[in-house]
Amino acid sequence: MRRVLQLLIGLFITMQNVPAQNPDSSDPSYANVYDELRSEMFTRRDADWRNGALVYQVIVDRFAPAADLDAKRELYPAPKRLREWDEVPKGGTYNEEAEVWSHEIDFWGGDLDSLRSKLSYVQDLGVDVLYLNPIHLAYTNHKYDAQDYFKVSPEYGTREDVIELANDVHDRGMKLVLDGVFNHMGRTSPWFKDALANPESEWRDWYLISDEYEIGYRAWVNVPNLPELNLENEKVRARLWGDPDSVILGYLRDGVDGWRLDVAFDIGFNYLQELTESAHRWDPESLIIGEIWNYPEEWFPSIDGIMNMTARTILLEMIKGNVNPSLAAIHFDRMYEDIDYESLLKSWIILDNHDTPRLNHSLPEQWQQRMAQVLQFTLPGSPCIYYGVELGMTGGEDPEQRGPMRWDLVTDDNEQLEWTKKLIAMRNECRSLRIGEFLHLNSEHLMAFMRTTDYVEDLAIVVANPSDEEATDLLMIRDSKIMSYTRFVDQLSGDAFDCMAGTLTIKVPARTVYVLRPSISKGSEYTPYKRVQ
């Protein structure tokens, strides 16, 4: 992108035949031609809530206990079980009656009303987007087995509760994103049951029912409880996202701001684009995020952004010592060269979620967890925090990572909570970390990169040394406005380094990551930054 930008700038200068500059030469915010041409881009990025937003993921059943659980017990008939809030999810046996695993029908009783009671906590963290795992009518606790998309599971509430939640979220300056599961439904859906039993059913061609399939129909990864929808059927797509009263558009009318699409890679490029275009016709600023475990190069513009699992893999493997940090930086540089950068700013950077072990299980050492989080908050994209990570919640493979929120850990002396708040504050104070360009810094020993905007004060240099030994390198600062002797200060430790002639010699202790910002004074008697924006 930078090379393309430079070519465009060169063309602009040639066409103008004179160098462009800020016409008000007395304005201390003096901009060169490069910044003038980039300023509109950054202004546009700033105005789009989807760029670099901080996302907080919640499983409604597990986030906050309902005010009166006894009044809700009838909503969990046997073989479903309502657990105590302090119980931890455990793997179970196959339940022959329900025809699902027993841990899939263990519930903790959270609902949309109890979630609303905890919005102040989410808001105080500094969250921009609240993302909910599926809330539509379904049999299991995870609700990826929809029975009816148009209804909310009664354990959670009603469509009216969704509207009230959206209003509350918006009043607090946040956005609301739901989880859409449109590749498959649940075996207990009345639509599917009728289709399976009756060859003349109006729902028959909504699914792929045939003797050619071992279980009589096509199911997602051959799980009998998850029959796949026949998306080649235009009527199916119309009810999901095409019709004015479709699932996608209906919830957008209710006040929802976007959708995260489950197994988006299974839906495919063309249908994703059809869905996204439908959502954008209703609301051009709605957000469509796809769960993509592939390399994300060609998934745009079919969707607005992805859950960047490629980035997650590179980060975890580097911090575990399986990938050289300088190679990891090259991987990210190539990714950002290959992929539409505006879409990457909208993409979610995931370290853990409901499908993976929690962060402190994948990376057991505290320094590993903190390095991963710093990089999550400084690489291009939208950091997605899985509920409870900010408190130090633990959990291994499914279902352990889906435990109930540990509200007992919300204390003034919780170091992990204070650390997370520090990262959020650091990111909110640095515009480039939210919407800035990415520039790879060549380094022999470190993962090193810069984030920049059209203002020199926004510059951030990130260097990570996951090795067991101290590393020293000379970095070339790829920003022509940085003056010699500018002091760079790490936002996490306070360590400082002085640059010289566009370079920075930096010594990084073992297992350490720095986020360096320039100390720039424009108000002193003399400053070389007097004519630099």
Distance CA 173, CA 162 (A): 17
> Is residue 262 among the annotated active site residues?
yes
Write down the H helix ranges in 126-158. none
Please say whether the dihedral angle defined by the alpha carbons of residues 314, 315, 316 and 318, taken in this order, is positive or negative.
Answer: positive
User: Which pair of structure tokens corresponds to residue 242?
Assistant: 């095409």
CA distance 157 to 116: 12
Q: Which residues lie closer than 8 Å to 52 by C-beta, 6 or more apart?
A: 45, 345, 380, 381, 382, 433, 434, 435
| Residue 392 · residue 22 · CB < 8 Å | no
* Among 111, 262, 274, 437, the one annotated catalytic: 262
- Residues ≥6 apart with Cβ < 8 Å to 150: 136, 247, 250
Handedness of CA 298, 300, 306, 312 (dihedral sign): positive
d(CA 129, CA 126): 10
Residue the block writes with tokens 């022999």: 444
Contacts (Cβ under 8 Å, ≥6 apart) of 524: none
Count of Cβ atoms closer than 10 Å to residue 362 Cβ: 19
Three-state DSSP at 134 gives coil
- 104, 291, 342, 490: which is the annotated catalytic residue? 291
What phi and psi values does residue 186 have, to the nearest 5 degrees?
-110, 150
To the query of whether residue 291 is one of the catalytic residues in this protein, the response is yes
Tokens of 129: 């987007």
Q: Is the dihedral of CA 214, 216, 220, 226 positive or negative?
A: negative
- What secondary structure letter does DSSP report for 307? B
Residue 471 backbone phi and psi in degrees, to 5: -130, 135
Q: Which residue has the tokens 């729902």?
A: 203
Identity of the amino acid at 313: T
Q: Which residues are catalytic?
A: 262, 291
